[in-house]
Amino acid sequence: MSIQCDTCLFENPEGSITCISCGAPLNLTQDSSTAESLLHLPSGTLLNQNKYRVEKTLGQGGFGVTYKGLDLVDGKEVAIKELFPDKSSRRGTSILWSNVISPKDQREQLDKFKIEAQYLSRCVHPNIVRIFDWFEQNNTAYIVMDFVKGKPLSDVIKAENKLAEDKAIQYFLQLTEALKLVHANNLLHRDIKPENIIINDTDLPVLIDFGNAREFIANKTQNMTEIGTVAYAPLEQNIPTGRRGPSLDFYSLGASMYETISGQLPEPATQRALSDTLIPPRKLVPSISPILEKVILTCLRMRAEDRFQTADELINALNGKFVSPSQRRSQQLVSQGKLAEAAQSYEKCLNNEPTNGEAAVELALVLTHINDGKAEKAALQAIQLLPNDGRGYGVLGLIQCRKNKWSDALKNLQQAANLSGQEAWIQANLAWALGKVGKWQEAETAVGRSLQLDPNLTFALGLQAWIYLNQQQWKSAIRASRQSLFKLKQVNPQGDLDLQNWVYPCLTIALEKAVITKQAQDVERCLQEFTTQLPKSSFAWGFLGWKYASEGRFNEAISSGQKALQQSNSAIWIYFNLGITYEHNNNIQDAVKIYKNCLSINQSQALVLFRLGTLLGQEKDWQTAKSHLQKAIKIEPNRAEFYHNLGWVLLNLNKTNNQVPGIFREIMRAYRQALNLYQSQNDQEYARLISSFQKAGINI
């Protein structure tokens, strides 16, 4: 049996007479209880200029002794914590520091001990022991705090074996609220365990015995095993370079919860390092709720980053709103705009938590910004996990909108709106789908609901403009377009180009149609703004070209039309308008070239075929003109002018080729069809054409 030196507390081998560390004679007759009592202040010792009196020793840890005392000024009971450095001893009431602790380190330990008290005194909370005094005396330092009457939680557990779940949650919610304040002051408790949680006379759990200074001292002495209590300490607490953050306290809190709810200690982290042998609480007590088990197991994760990172996260989880740290990290990446990283993080989260429906829904939402195919697959998984959450159906409907599958989109978005009607984005996409199937009144109602939920949703404002435009409500379309563009500049000064690309056309067309702007310059100003904001918009330049052409400003119209075609994805109408403008400006060859370019993109444009056929006829290329006009008629067989010009081309083809057999019947058939269509349409061209045939002596 080893013999402890009274002077330096070094453990000497059995049979030693003098201390092999400091040379002091050893007391060979003193028992351990007597030796221990000599290290403590005797009852009746006065401290801090006779303000406090020591009553008795309450306990001793690796770096300090705690006494029950009396405040002689107001007569209240107090607890007094004395810094008692490792391997030190006492002479009288004064501490003799171990000779392995340098004077510099002694000063640092004393200062750190008092700084701990100063910081903890700011943590005024009903679930934290109140500290109100600290001072140096007896070559050491003291902290004075309230004496908390009650029982340690450890005694309550022993008496009741385990606590009911609702009582345990009640206690640990309060303790987490207390830790929120501690962590906000850049402090950690570092030694949470049932022995350091007092259930006071009013059934409040109170945190005592903060271990902040002890860890600092342990770092100095390299005696890391003295920090915390093994069963409640995370692995990093026993590693000098280990991460120190709030998750350290949450591990200890989780271990305490585990013991409180099951009556058993969890396996120490040191034993779980290579192979995790932790028994889930529900295997010990099946009545524990699954969500509380998830909370406890999350607290007890071996890796600090896999635990809760803030008190608020743990508070939400204990209140039933559990979000795993892995999911939380994914959410943070989303808030930082790192969507690709967020998607990978969510996928990793779901690999570890395959039943996490919330994470599945959030992944689907993120993927709508990255990959439609993956978003659709993720949405189907989300629907399986959370069939009553409309957001999964909402993502599915959105992807189908993008694929122009409007019936399928409408079905899923209606289901989404039924389940999650308070999601503004779902209502907006529902309005989009309703508009695309021609249900404009229902679309107007849906977009209105969206804007009631979120008045700043620029997409919904833009949709509203589009819906009004298609209902020929020009003034309302103008108002909604302008609101959308204004809000967009407020929310995103750089602008959302995709949104502007279809809201500006709505505004431009509505302004052109509105009667009140016929004599004003609203359209011109809008187009100037449009081309300035979106200089690569083919619609902007194309519409500007049409506007110039309608005013007879053909050179300016041609210039704008050419700029429109220099942009990507130019619409067929831009080609057609430019071709018509070339015709009006007598640039026939350029018009022919434009029409041919247009047909190389889309061969089913009847009006383009008609104009090209007509121009080729003017160029006396009768055979090619005939082919184009016949194709135009095949696409749109009810256009009188198509038959009229075909008759003209056939007539000239007959003259050129010297009475082609059967062509006269074709000529007459084309003219008769033109006359029939003109007549049915009450077109004035009918009378002119009849007059022409009468002058020629032809009875048609």
**CA-wise closest residue to 311 among 184, 193, 194, 187:** 184
Token digits of residue 622 = 């009768």
CA pair distance 184, 505, nearest whole angstrom = 52
Strands 89-91 and 205-207: unpaired
DSSP string computed for 117-160:
HHHHTT---TTB--EEEEEEETTEEEEEEE---EEEHHHHHHHH
Which residue type is seen at 471? Q
- Residue corresponding to tokens 């962590």: 183
Token digits of residue 589 = 């060859």
Which residues are CB-neighbours of 661 under 8 A, at least 6 positions away? none
At residue 88, φ and ψ (nearest 5 deg) are -95, 175
End-to-end CA distance of the chain: 134
* 149 is known to lie in a ligand binding site: no
User: What are the Cα distances from residue 418, in Å, to 364, 422, 444?
Assistant: 19, 9, 17
Neighbour count for residue 273 (Cβ, 10 Å): 10
Which residues are CB-neighbours of 481 under 8 A, at least 6 positions away? 462, 465, 503, 504, 506, 507, 510
Which residues are CB-neighbours of 479 under 8 A, at least 6 positions away? none
User: 90 and 113 in contact (C-beta within 8 Å)?
Assistant: no
Q: Which H or E element spans position 254?
A: helix 246-262
The edge-to-edge listing of strands for the beta sheet with 46-47 is: 46-47, 52-60, 64-71, 77-83, 140-146, 131-137
DSSP string computed for 488-518:
HHHH-TT--HHHHHHHHHHHHHHHHH-GGGT
Binding site feature residues? 81
Binding site feature residues for ATP? 81
